[in-house]
């Protein structure tokens, strides 16, 4: 089997909408986790902290440069991930679309 990471992300506007309906989002995420656990392909799944509390470490120079704040642009924020052990990319995508 191969490992595939499914990354949950949203833009500033979608994150605000998500927080307004957090119960629905949590229920949908819970169903997904249950399904991939039952299928025996879930290796890990976690949400991430507020991107404003994060940092970016750039190793392209010596010493590395650390910048506080959101990683990436705030219009493209990662909120969490699921790591699946499946045979193909298509199988990983199909698991998320259920």
Domain boundaries, the chain: 2-97
Give the angle subtended at the CA of 79 by the CAs of 62 and 91, to the nearest 5°. Answer: 105
Superfamily of domain 2-97: Dimeric alpha+beta barrel (3.30.70.1060)
Tokens representing 14 are: 């979608």
In the chain (98 residues long), the average pLDDT of successive 10-residue segments reads: 79 65 80 90 84 77 82 60 88 76
pLDDT at 51: 67
pLDDT at 10: 63
pLDDT at 38: 92
Question: SS in 3 state form for 34-74?
Answer: HHHHHCCCEEEEEECCCHHHCEEEECCCCCCEEEECCCCCC
């Amino acid at each position: 089997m191969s490992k595939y990471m499914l990354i949950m992300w949203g833009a500033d506007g979608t994150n605000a909408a998500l927080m307004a309906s957090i119960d629905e989002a949590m229920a949908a995420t819970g169903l997904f986790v249950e399904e991939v656990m039952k299928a025996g392909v879930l290796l890990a799944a976690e949400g991430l902290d507020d991107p404003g509390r994060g940092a970016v470490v750039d190793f392209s120079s010596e010493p590395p440069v650390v910048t506080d704040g959101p990683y990436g642009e705030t219009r493209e924020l990662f909120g969490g991930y699921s790591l699946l052990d499946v045979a193909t990319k298509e199988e990983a995508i199909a698991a998320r679309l259920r």
